Chains A and B, each alone.
Chain A
Amino acid sequence: MSDQQKTRKDFPLLQRRINGKPLIYFDNAATSQKPQKVIDAVSGFYQNHNANIHRGIHTLAEEATDIYENVRNQVAKYINANSPEEVIFVRNTTEALNLVAYSFGRPSVLKKDEIVTTIMEHHSNFLPWRELALENGAALKAIDIDNGGRLMIKTGENKNEDTKNKKGRIFNHGTKIIALTQASNVLGTVNPIKEILSSVPPYTLNAGSSPRTQSRGYPLVVVDGAQAVPHLRVNVRELGCDFYAFSGHKMFAPMGAGVLWGRREILELMPPFLFGGGMIKNVSLAGAEYAEVPAKFEAGTPSVADVAGLGAAIEYLEEIGYEEIANCELSNCELLLGELQKIPEVTIYGPKTTKDRVATISFNVRDIHPHDVAQFLNDNYGIAVRAGQHCAGPLHERLGIPASVRASLAFYNTEGEIRVFLTAIKDLIRVFK
């Protein structure tokens, strides 16, 4: 049995049949399937350790707290954070990005300032900034892509000159925030974050204790890592960003546990985002004093079982290894890209080679509606793909298409599955002709 066949056995759901056919799950960019180890961590928490965390004296509360805080340590090591206090548990990437937009953005982005984002952002890294810009009277600018689906970041390359100043940098004097994704959830492009950020001096803190006083200095950089962490080894300190957000559920962990990493000194000067239990030092009628990071940003009972599952998922990923993950995914990606390009009716959006890419491929089949493609693949071949705009309206507008079909692979997808998929696409074209 090959290593891949063995790892497939770790995922109970991959054994399912859909419409009498073995499931072919190509919707990993939406959410990944979960290995038994993760499922066991979640049910094990409820079976053996369930209690609310912090300040409980009893055994179960201590155990639950230890489980929760140990995963924080694990995440910190996994992404190479300076300390566990820089790891904030949230529900998902969307919540993490909103936290930054509300807590840092609201008080620090002023009238006529600017926020720079990209045309390929998921709505979760676009709408919080759009709303912030509208509310505070700032401008929102988007870095464009070239025809190959790559960000136009080199001098003179960007048609949208608004996003660059004369020195060819992606920020101006008034740029307060740069928000960009590490990997596109539609195009599969992996953006050279380190290279892009090399022209952005480190965000420096001014004297003072609130984001409001941070009106001068260089922009703050927020990276959406949701589509990168399941495929690439991420080192937040090397990337050169100030915030990094990702969801557990796309990296084999349960839905309900995500992470916001932030540089501690910035987190410390930000006000809390949500108020309530678990985030205070003391409260009286006369006033309230809030807890230190990370507790300051974790109001209310967190999803402890899902965090336990996230810990198990990280362990699982470390066991498989990112090298093995990249090998499996990119060889299948290469095959899929190559064969799809041989079908004249198929148009692929995004890079046509596996260089700086994850195995997420969006495409359309001429004259066939994306919903019909997805339905046909499901009904006749048990293939799960996504059809629509994939929460990337501005990108679809830029591409000039109402919607697309997306096949997104994980390391457990096999070459055999790719072959069935290609047969299915040819069959679809025949039936719809």
Chain B
Amino acid sequence: MNLYSLTIMDHYHHPRNVGKLDGATHKADEVNTSCGDKTRFGLRVENDKLKEIKHETRGCLVAIVSASVLSEKIIGKSTKEIKEMKAEDLMALIGMELTTSRIRCAMLPLLAIQKALKGGG
């Protein structure tokens, strides 16, 4: 998908699931040290399944869109499934063609989510 497609730009201008999650069972922050992008995720997990998710992301288009798309698409998945997600899975999910340096931008939200589930946050 083109980086500036309508869907992508819509996620950029109106990211989904933004904010603080009251009653979160898991939380984590993650920073991309190469550019200073920051994200904070709150997750509510019930019976090992992701029920609710919210995030506050400050960063580039790729990081914001990745956080927004992820927050929609991983709801209902098992924590095991989410913890095992790799860069390729994320790329397939968000549908962006990215070069090496930008893959790091896209990975920021996933790393935060996985950190939260592993109890690192």
Which A residues have a C-beta under 8 Å from some C-beta of B?
A: 369-372, 375-376, 379-380, 387-388, 402-403, 431-432
* Residues in B whose Cβ lies below 8 Å from that of A403: 35-36
* Residues in A whose Cβ lies below 8 Å from that of B59: 369
| 0/1 string, B60-88, CB within 8 A of A gives 1 | 11100000000000000000000000000
B36 contacts A375, CB within 8 Å? Answer: no
Considering the chains assembled together, what is the distance between the CA atoms of A403 and B33 in angstroms? 12
A379 contacts B35, CB within 8 Å? Answer: no
In the A-B complex, the 10 residue pairs with the closest CB atoms: A369-B60, A402-B36, A371-B60, A372-B61, A372-B60, A431-B4, A403-B35, A371-B35, A379-B3, A388-B35
Considering the chains assembled together, what is the distance between the CA atoms of A431 and B61 in angstroms? 12
- CB-nearest residue of chain B to A387: B35
B61 to chain A, nearest CB (A): 5
B9 contacts A431, CB within 8 Å? Answer: yes
Considering the chains assembled together, what is the distance between the CA atoms of A402 and B31 in angstroms? 13
- CB-nearest residue of chain A to B64: A369
B14 in the interface, Cβ–Cβ < 8 Å?
A: no
In the complex, 20 of the A-B residue pairs with CB atoms within 8 angstroms, ordered by the A residue number, are A369-B60, A370-B60, A371-B35, A371-B61, A371-B62, A372-B60, A372-B61, A372-B62, A375-B3, A375-B62, A375-B102, A376-B3, A379-B3, A388-B34, A402-B36, A431-B4, A431-B9, A432-B9, A432-B12, A432-B61
* Residues in B whose Cβ lies below 8 Å from that of A376: 3-4
* Residues in A whose Cβ lies below 8 Å from that of B62: 371-372, 375
B45 in the interface, Cβ–Cβ < 8 Å?
A: no
CB contact under 8 A between A371 and B105, given known A388-B35, A402-B35, A403-B36? yes
Contacts A369-B60, A388-B34, A403-B35 given; 16 further ones with Cβ under 8 A?
A369-B35, A369-B37, A370-B60, A371-B35, A371-B61, A371-B105, A372-B60, A372-B61, A372-B62, A375-B3, A376-B4, A379-B3, A388-B35, A402-B36, A403-B36, A432-B9
Q: Range of interface residues on chain B?
A: 10 to 19
Considering the chains assembled together, what is the distance between the CA atoms of A370 and B4 in angstroms? 16
B65 to chain A, nearest CB (A): 10
| 0/1 string, B38-62, CB within 8 A of A gives 1 | 0000000000000000000001111
- CB-nearest residue of chain A to B60: A369
Considering the chains assembled together, what is the distance between the CA atoms of A376 and B36 in angstroms? 19
B66 to chain A, nearest CB (A): 13
- CB-nearest residue of chain B to A401: B36
A49 to chain B, nearest CB (A): 37
8 A Cβ contacts from B1-43 to A = 3-4, 9, 12, 34-37
8 A Cβ contacts from B73-116 to A = 102, 105
* Residues in B whose Cβ lies below 8 Å from that of A380: 4
Considering the chains assembled together, what is the distance between the CA atoms of A376 and B8 in angstroms? 14
Considering the chains assembled together, what is the distance between the CA atoms of A379 and B4 in angstroms? 10
Considering the chains assembled together, what is the distance between the CA atoms of A402 and B58 in angstroms? 11
Query: Of residues B37, B60, B62, which shows the largest number of chain A Cβ atoms within 10 Å of its Cβ?
Result: B60
B4 contacts A371, CB within 8 Å? Answer: no
